[in-house]
Amino acid sequence: MPVPVDLLRLGDRHGLAIVDRGGRLSAVPAVAVADGDRWRRADPGDGTAEALLQLLAGTPGHSAQGRFEVVSWTSGPAPTTERPITVDQTNESIIVGDRAVVKWATHLEPGPHPAPSRLAALTAAEFTAMPTPWGLVTWTPHDGAETLVATVTGYLPGAVDGWTWAVELFKDAARSGDHTTVISICSSLGTVVADLHASLAATVTTSTRADAQRWRDGAFATLAAARELATPANTQLLLDLAEQITAVLERLSTLVDIPILDAHGDLHVGQVLRTDDQLVVADFDGNPVLPPAERVLPVPAAVDLAGILQSLTHVAIVAAERSELSPERLAPVDADARGSLLDAYLHRLSQTGHADLHIEHALTAFRLQQVLREIVYAGRHLPRWMYVPDAALPALLEEMSR
């Protein structure tokens, strides 16, 4: 392990080290070797995650230690016994005592970081449809903004994300023709998203002309990139329907003086974990395609709603690709899923007194931008994902023309 740039001590033998790996910073668990002045990278079982949990349990509230800040929402005895999370992940997560998950930001993002303020606001509002936040550690570099280096949440045994649970659900519904479960789960999800927004209502402000212009310019930048990267059929569609597409995206420039809030920012089914009896929203790290300074800015609630709705269409496309089912058999499942999510969302938003957060005429524009982003993402990073926007773009444009 390189000599740490900075170190937060966790008890006598453990630490959270910020290390520089060829110009990229990483937050890693560390354990002292022999004399206690040198450190090595800790592995699951070395007790560094346990030491962080002990620190959190012993210091509820906020405490600053040099350039680190520790926020704890937990007291009580700290669990022990570490084991690694083995699913596909960007950072490194350790399960402690089957009760907590410690995520070290080994893939450290430059700040500012949206999660600390969102988790604090949601905790204060007693929002429960998320992995229970136990605490977090932030770090502020000499020359930059505060970022997140470790997050601790309650462990949810058996939790799987929507690219698994929703795909299975859609396939079952298409095969049996019985959409009851899809409708009931997507309704619950709509309620959860409305509760999320209602819980973040303390952050509501009003959009300015500059905000609207930034959203509009961002969408056109995505469109330009998508034009370069799309496969031939979509390139042709983007050309043929350029006028209609431009008109829809241009609507974003009219979103002036509307309510905006510290939303999730990157909401899609992959961020929704499902256990036997609940749906929870995870990952408040913001949208990775935006620069950090933009990830923390308030947006219309429609950004989240569009993200989750459009991802259901993508679930249907994935379900068709990974089974014998035709897109035609999945289309009615997709329609029922989106319809029930939207109905439940609007119903709950009204119930909680926040109906004004819903900006109906922004929804299509943000859905379209999401599909264009999938083209860009697939084109730049994951070519085998391109079949999703290849199917989603014509479907959305067809829906828009109705």
CA dist list (Å): 257 to 104, 204, 221, 362? 39, 12, 23, 13
Name which of 102 and 248 has its Cβ closer to ligand ADP: 102
Distance, CA of 186 to CA of 344 (rounded, Å): 8
Residue 103: CB minimum distance to ligand ADP, A: 6
Question: Are 388 and 320 within 8 A, CB to CB?
Answer: no
Name which of 96 and 330 has its Cβ closer to ligand ADP: 96
Helix or strand run (H / E) with residue 81 = none
The backbone torsions φ and ψ at residue 19, rounded to the nearest 5 degrees and listed phi first, read: -120, 150
CA 71, 74, 77, 81 torsion-angle sign: negative
Name which of 116 and 300 has its Cβ closer to ligand ADP: 116
The backbone torsions φ and ψ at residue 217, rounded to the nearest 5 degrees and listed phi first, read: -65, -40
Question: Are 305 and 370 within 8 A, CB to CB?
Answer: no
All residues at 6 or more sequence positions from 402 whose CB lies less than 8 Å from its CB, including other chains:
none
Q: Count Cβ atoms below 10 Å from residue 301 Cβ, excluding itself.
A: 30
Consult the annotation and say whether 171 binds a ligand. no
Residue 81: CB minimum distance to ligand ADP, A: 16
Question: Are 10 and 52 within 8 A, CB to CB?
Answer: yes
Residue 104: CB minimum distance to ligand ADP, A: 9
Residue 105: CB minimum distance to ligand ADP, A: 8
Name which of 133 and 300 has its Cβ closer to ligand ADP: 133
Residue 141: CB minimum distance to ligand ADP, A: 20
Name which of 89 and 176 has its Cβ closer to ligand ADP: 89
Residue 67: CB minimum distance to ligand ADP, A: 22
Q: Quick check: bond before 112 cis, omega within 30?
A: yes
Consult the annotation and say whether 345 binds a ligand. no
Residue 153: CB minimum distance to ligand ADP, A: 4
Consult the annotation and say whether 98 binds a ligand. no
Distance, CA of 375 to CA of 205 (rounded, Å): 32
Beta bridge partners of 7: 17
Consult the annotation and say whether 154 binds a ligand. yes
Name which of 161 and 304 has its Cβ closer to ligand ADP: 161
If you search the block for the tokens 């004399």, which residue do you land on? 35
Consult the annotation and say whether 285 binds a ligand. yes
Distance, CA of 370 to CA of 132 (rounded, Å): 29
Consult the annotation and say whether 336 binds a ligand. no
Residue ranges that bind ligand ADP, judged by CB under 6 A: 85, 87, 89-91, 93, 101, 103, 131, 153-156, 159, 161, 282-283
CA 26, 273, 357, 312 torsion-angle sign: positive
Name which of 26 and 153 has its Cβ closer to ligand ADP: 153
All residues at 6 or more sequence positions from 56 whose CB lies less than 8 Å from its CB, including other chains:
70, 72, 74, 78, 134, 135, 152
Q: Which residues fall in the annotated binding site for ATP? A: 103, 154-156, 161
Q: Which residues fall in the annotated binding site for Mg(2+)? A: 271, 283, 285
Q: Which residues fall in the annotated binding site for D-glucosamine? A: 266, 374
Q: Which residues fall in the annotated binding site? A: 103, 154-156, 161, 266, 271, 283, 285, 374
